[in-house]
Amino acid sequence: MVVRKEKRKRKYYGTRRWGVGNIKNARGHGSKGGAGMAGSGLGTGSKHKFTYITAKHPELIKKVGFTPWNKNKKTRRHREITLRGIEQLLSRKGGERSVDLSNYKVLSNGTLSAKAIIKAAGFSKGAQEKIKAVGGEAIVA
């Protein structure tokens, strides 16, 4: 069979670009350039502006929750709930003042208005103190 056209790749041996124009166009992330938040480390992959972001705009770095206290047990990941959230849960339940939160760690943000029995996977020190100050119980499940 006669080859009528040679393969295009032979044309680019020995070059860096292989027909993509500027080399940044061949990176697989599009042409992000250096404008705006590109390179700030906020979901972009590169971090050449990360020190500026940490120094001038730390509120842009989103961190949610807490570091699990049992890093060795990877299967046990707990969500967190505050005392304010527990107070809202108890107010929705009506007269019942006990709640079972076996998958949650209780954090001390907020207060409890009345005595309550709270069963959870973990408690912060401040949360335990606030629950006991009201006369409630903090049971670790």
What percent of the chain is helix, strand and coil (3-state, nearest 5)?
A: 30, 20, 55
Residues 6+ apart with CB under 8 A from 81: 101, 104, 105, 106, 107, 120
103 vs 68: CA distance, rounded Å: 12
pTM greater than 0.75 (yes/no): no
Q: Which domains does the chain have, with CATH numbers?
A: 28-63 (no CATH), 79-140 (3.100.10.10)
Residue 92 near residue 69 (C-beta atoms within 8 A): no
Flag whether pLDDT at 63 surpasses 70: no
* Arithmetic mean of pLDDT, 10-39: 68
Q: Per DSSP, what are the bridge partners of residue 104?
A: 79
Query: What pLDDT is attached to residue 123?
Result: 93
